[in-house]
Chains A and B, each alone.
Chain A
Amino acid sequence: MVGALAINQKLEADSANAFGGAGLIGNGSSTPEASAAPVDVKKSATGDPVDYLYGTIQVSITQLNGKLTAIELLQQQATAGREQAFPYLVKYAIAANGSSFGNLSNATYTTDAFKQALDSAISKL
């Protein structure tokens, strides 16, 4: 036994917010709405469920003034919780935490099913 729990808690506190930049994908390609009207234009849409090897993924997205502001995971049999930002995660995580470590080790994440689900939702906006 290493009794690493106490150490872990300390390190966790040190490195909290490693992923502070939530919404890493939040970069919808549309241009902002016309400038005159200060009224926010909010749209949301739900994509089709996409089956993949580890389950089913389905996302709903919210767009504010042409910009993706939220991605919500409706169905993810494989994991619980919300999913965002697969492909560029490593890059962002490192940018956010460059001073403390150079790489992040984690269970392998999948990109394809997520992107497909996202594309499906975007196409319905």
Chain B
Amino acid sequence: MARFEHFEECMGTVFRFAGNHDLPQSDFDEAISLATSLLHRADQIFSLYKPESPLSRLARGETSVAQLPPVVEEIWDECERWERETDGWFSAFTPQNTFDPSGVVKTWAAKKAADQLLSAGIVDFTVNAGGDVWISDATTERNDWRIGISTPVTIASPQAGVLTVVDLFGTEYRAMATSGSAERGEHIWNPKAPGKAPANELVQISVIAKDLVEADVWATAAFALGDRAISALNARNAANPQNQIQAIAVWPDGNLDGTEGFIDLLAKASH
């Protein structure tokens, strides 16, 4: 088994793949290259920063979903599904009412990349998609099951540090995503506010789920829910005993609150 760590810059952030593999080097390199090409392909299609991307053309009304690659419809459907799932608190429609699936694409692509590695026989690894983390079932490094949650200040600030650490070992959870205003300001709109105004009640919320996209979407939705996030998630969990979602929210005054199951996930200091 060889330890590996690969960084890929894409979508304006950094993806990290790290774990162990026992493939010949050339096979490993090929697997990484295929996996990361999926990220770049998704970026080319869905980036709203690239004026000629299919999504940018769609946003300008120059084309329709039916005329674009099928993957656009796939994401469109996925966004609709999450909008229903979150009772409308996640929405891929901007305040200007253009389709912006960026909230899903990063983790969706990371998941595709992870699937690519799995199918190549790389099964023991974690993915960090610009702060959203996924852990494979076969992760052997005990420490890789532990995820630190950043304090809600920009990573470059002198006050940057770790808020707390969760340990997903032995649980059904495989993913954590964090939404907040520390890095990119008020960039999450509240789909239910007048004019879809930016959500700003919380400064950060981290969501733990089985699935990476699910964690990501719920982190966005919960950020928009703001003060109601934790009680809404508790209510959601009561209605979905088979698929729990845990979260820890941070308010501007430093107050914290977690879902009912969150405290069980806190890493033990003895480790």
The interface of chain A, by Cβ under 8 A from chain B, is: 1-2, 4-5, 7-8, 10-12, 14-19, 22, 53-55, 73, 77-91, 93, 97-112
Known: A106-B131, A106-B182. A81 touches B159 (CB 8 A): yes
A-B contacts besides A10-B269, A97-B148, 17 pairs, CB < 8 Å: A5-B256, A8-B164, A18-B160, A53-B49, A81-B153, A81-B159, A86-B155, A90-B7, A101-B148, A102-B147, A103-B126, A103-B148, A104-B128, A104-B150, A105-B206, A107-B179, A107-B204
Asked if residues B164 and A4 are in contact (CB atoms below 8 Å), the reply is: yes
Overall SS of chain A's interface:
loop
Please name all residues of chain A whose beta carbon is closer than 8 Å to the beta carbon of B9 when the two chains form the complex: 87, 111
- Whether the Cβ atoms of B150 and A79 lie closer than 8 Å is no
Min Cβ gap B197→A in Å is 16
* B248 surroundings in chain A (CB, below 8 A): 2, 4
Do A81 and B157 contact each other (CB < 8 Å), given the known contacts A97-B148, A98-B143, A106-B131?
yes
Q: B247 to nearest A CB, angstroms?
A: 10
Tell me whether B148 and A105 are in contact (CB under 8 A).
Answer: yes
How far apart sit A97 and B57, CA to CA, in the bound complex (Å)? 43
Interchain CB contact under 8 A, B180 and A111: no
Please tell me if the beta carbons of A104 and B162 are within 8 angstroms of each other in the complex: yes
Chain B residues in the interface with A (C-beta under 8 A): 5, 7, 9, 12-14, 16, 18, 49, 106, 126, 128, 130-133, 135, 141, 143-165, 176-185, 187, 204, 206, 248, 255-260, 262-263, 266-267, 269, 271
CA distance A87 to B183 in the complex (A): 13
- Residue pairs across A and B with Cβ atoms less than 8 A apart, 25 shown, are A2-B256, A2-B263, A4-B266, A7-B164, A15-B165, A16-B161, A81-B157, A88-B7, A89-B155, A91-B7, A93-B148, A100-B271, A101-B267, A102-B18, A102-B126, A103-B135, A104-B131, A104-B148, A105-B132, A105-B206, A106-B183, A107-B131, A108-B106, A109-B155, A111-B9
Number of A-B pairs whose CB atoms are under 8 Å?
204
Q: Return A15 CB to nearest CB of chain B, in Å.
A: 4
> From B264, which residue of chain A is reached at the shortest CB distance?
A2
- Asked if A82 and B150 make an inter-chain contact with CB atoms under 8 angstroms apart, the answer reads no
Question: Given A105-B206, A107-B178: A4 and B257 within 8 A (CB)?
Answer: yes
